[in-house]
Structure formats: structure tokens, C-alpha cells
Structure 1
Amino acid sequence: MTARAWRLMSVPVAAALAMGAGGCGASEGDDKTVTVLAAASLTESFTTLARAYEKVHPGTHVEVSFAASSTIVTQLSHDAPADVVALADTEAPKKLPKDLAEGKAWTPFATNRLEIVTPRGNPAHVTGLADLAKVDTVLCAKEVPCGRAAHKALTKAKVAPHVVSYEKDVKATLAKVVAGDAEAALVYATDASSARSKVSGVEVPTASNVTTTLPITAWSDTADAKGFAQFVRGDEGRRVLQGNGFGLPG
């Protein structure tokens, strides 16, 4: 028997144990936990939405784990437990094994764009993408959504950046600039906004910019999984997402 088959056979056992421990399958009246795996760029928004959902659903705890979308795909491929999954672009779900992806309905719920960030005050005088060929630049790893977006933007602008490191996700990329370990980075506009007191931002022109669409799905069939996914797409979710700089899909 293959390791994959053994893991699949083990799922009912794991589910039974989770029910006994008071997880998502807990009996009515018990506290419930909704496990959410979300892209790192959603840290501020989903932290707020998790607490907001708990307030209107007493007895339900939303536990959110943030990571690069590529890491989340790997976790899911190794049967990591999840009720809701939200990724940073529409390419990420395509990396899932077909047997896992089958039956999952991914719905767009937000959009994002790129922005250049520099240490506060922009000491290297970066004015646009072309300057990334001249200064120490940090980018997201090529296999993660922010890395894919950065590559597309730089290709459109015909810029070969002077890259000193590739980081695991957008937060790690931003952190390099905040720490003064790089003169510039290309990150999501929402992350640039979240760190505005620590970095300076340089706008990427529309002609060279890339808009990513973020999809969400209820990974499990529980009522709270479907409920939280809908909550994110609803009025409160849109309000929080827009407040953190995300756009909304058309």
C-alpha cells in the first residue's frame, strides 16, 4: 500500500479523534474550531475577520495559519487539516493534486497589486522599476504568488533586477527592507500599506503592474467552513479587505 493510500485511509480515524477532542466535528453545544489556511498577505485582514466571525458566532473559534500559498499547497498535499483555504493568486490552486482539488469551488474574493518598498526615507532614491537593476533588491521566491507577479511586472518593464535574496513569502520579503538588509523590494501594495510607518513606497505604473486575484474555498463540508468563507465574501469581509488596501473582483 502506498503512503498516499495509507494517509487517505487514516483520514476517518483522524476525524474521529478530532470529534472526540472537540474539533470541527464536536457535538452540538460544544465549542468548535474553524481551521483556516491563508496566504501571508492576508495576515492583517483575516486576523480581524476571524475575531469578527467569532463575535457573531459564540462558541466558535477561528484558528488562522498564515504562510506562502506554495507552502499551503504543500501542507494540503500532505493532508494538513483545514476547513477554509484562501490563496494569493489563481495559479496556486492549480498546483494541488487532482484528487484533492476535485470538487473544490474556488471563488474570487479580493485583488491585489504590486508596489516597491524602500527603507524609510528612500535613501537609495528609487523612483521606479528600472532602479531595481541598480540597487540591492529582495523579491519573493519565484514559486510563490508575489514572486510570480514580480517576475511578470519586471518582464513587462524589461528590467533585470539586482537581486540579493529571494524570500519565502511577502512578509519575509518586506521584513528585509524594514531591517535595512535591502535597498528595495517588490511586494503587494497591501503589505506596503501595513508597514507604512517603517518603509517608503514607490508606485508601480499601471502599464507595468500586475493585478492578482485571490480565491477562497470551503475545504471541508462543515457549516462553519461554508459560513466563514461566505463571511469573507460578504459585507464585513469586503469592508475589512478594502480597509487594508485590497481591491474587489469585478
Structure 2
Amino acid sequence: MRSARRLLAASAVLVLAAGLTACTGSTGSSTTDAAVTPRPEVKGTVTVFAAASLKESFTEIGKRFETAYPGVKVTFNFGGSSALAQSIVSGAPADVFAAASPATMKTVSDAKLTGGDPKVFVKNTLEIAVAKGNPKHVAGLKDLTGLKTALCAKEVPCGAAAVTALKAAGVNLTPATYEQDVKGALTKVELGEVDASLVYRTDVQADAAKIDGVDFPEAAQAVNDYPIAALAKAPNTNGAAAFLGYVGSADARRVLTEAGFQAP
């Protein structure tokens, strides 16, 4: 009986060894190495044009991307999505474009400058940014009437979203200033130059040490989709593809979720 068991055990070892040999081949590489598809070589600089509201989260994602791809450098151009789109159409060199609305991405795709179909990777909603402690006791959009407010310019995604939200609330608001991106509108509150501004929830969260945010129900009717795409004339095509892949990774999604963005 013991001899039979020894024979079975020896046979099992031989079968296992044969299987491992078949997987590793004559070079002796591990099964893990054999199963991994080699990544395209990524070198040089990856240039990303991204909406201003992505600044904090993309800066962190850029650092992690550089760790994952040693020797590669990510450079960012953050700004209003409409201005960035126009820059790309005018020939500004970039590898990736991440916009705060499909409308601004369409400017680039209509010019046949996206390397593939843009993909929505996060969503964002508006909040009312007010000074710490909410000294004007703002509780909703109607409370902005009579206050000094800052809005994003209407052609900028946060401005278009603000127009939608104000219309849904039946509020006719004349702002003290129109800003070219969401960071500009937020800074006006920080400096005390206005009483409130309509910005993204993510921007309020990123600046929570200096300002407070007020939720309002009409924000649900003005949710912004954020599309991302590699660019057709990307100087670094492998870098563009790798960065898009990384933005879709669990690690990057965690960074975006912690920043207050919503899953698409």
C-alpha cells in the first residue's frame, strides 16, 4: 500500500514538473513572466492638457504614473477646457486632452484631432463656494440674489453648468465677475472679493481649509461628464496610450474618487 502511494506521489511530481517545464520553456523564465504581455516602451515626456478642476488629482496621478514608468516625465497644462481645446486646434503640441465637458472635447474631435473615441472617465457636480463659516448664511441658489458672486464664463464647462443650474432654480443672477476657469472663480471667494461663487464640488473639497461649500438640489440637473482622449498628432503616442491606461486603473480611480469625482 505504501509503495503504491509513493508511486502516485512520484507520478504527481513528475506531471507537475512537466507542466512547469512546458510553461517556462527552455529559457527557465517563470510562469508569471511568460503570462505577462510586454508593455509598449514609454520614454520621454507625456504632455497632458487638462481642465483646471483636475489639477490636484491629475498632479497626484502624474506622480504615480512617473513612478510606474521610471524615467518618463509628465507635464500638465491646466486651464479652462474651451481655451485648451482651441489651443489644440490651433496646433499646440499635446499627447492627451482631458476636458470638463463633452462639448469642449467635441471642438477637438470635430477637427479630427482625437486619436480615438473620447471616453468619459469621471463626473463632477457644482457647489456654492462661500467664505469659512458661511457669514452670508447662503443655503441655496436663491440666496445668491443681491450678493456679489463670481461665475465661470459661459463658454467654460463650469459656466455652462452654472447657467443650467440657475435656470432650473428660477434664479436670474448677474455676477460681479466672469472667470475663465473654475480656479479663478474660487480664488475670488478666497480673497474676499466676492461673497460666493459657483464651482465644482471637487474644487471646494481641495480648498476646504480656506472656504466652505453649500450643496443645492439643482446641481443634480447640471452634472458634467469629463471625457479624455489621446490626440491624433501626439508627439509621444506610446506615452499617451500609457497615460490613458493609467487613468483607468484602480489606483487612479481611487485618487479621483477621494478628490470628490464621481464614477461615470
TM-score interval for Structure 1 and Structure 2 normalised by the shorter chain: 0.7 to 0.9
Q: Supply the AA of the counterpart residue of 1:234.
A: S
Q: Which runs of 5+ in 2 are unaligned?
A: 1-39
Name 1:45's counterpart in structure 2: 57
Q: Is 1:141 paired with 2:156? A: no
Q: How does 1:66-105 map to 2 (within 5 A)?
A: 66-96=78-108, 98-101=110-113, 103-105=115-117
Give the Å deviation of 1:100: 3.1
* Residue 172 (str. 1) matches residue 184 (str. 2): yes
Aligned pairs for 1:1-250 (under 5 A) are 32-96=44-108, 98-101=110-113, 103-206=115-218, 209-219=221-231, 220=234, 222-249=237-264
Bigger mean CA deviation after superposition, 217-226 or 232-241: 217-226
Relative to structure 1, the CA distance from residue 53 to residue 182 in structure 2 (aligned partners, 3 Å threshold; closer, same or farther) is same
TM-score if structure 2 supplies the norm length? 0.80
How far apart, in 1, do the equivalents of 2:133 and 2:41 lie?
54
Larger Rg: 2
Q: Deviations 1:64-102 (Å, cap 9, x if unpaired)? A: 110100110111011000111100011111223733346
Give the structure-1-normalised TM-score: 0.84
Which residue of the partner structure matches residue 23 of structure 1? none
Give the fraction of aligned pairs with identical amino acids, expressed as a percent. 42
SS of the residue 1:63 aligns to: strand
**Distance apart, 1:103 and its partner CA:** 5.0
Question: Cα RMSD over matched residues?
Answer: 1.9
Deviation, structure 1 residue 122: 1.3
Q: Deviations over 1:118-171 (max 9, x none)?
A: 111111111100011121110000000000000000001110124100001000
With 175-184 and 86-95 compared, the bigger mean Cα shift is at 86-95
Contact 1:135–1:162 at 8 Å: present in 2 too?
no
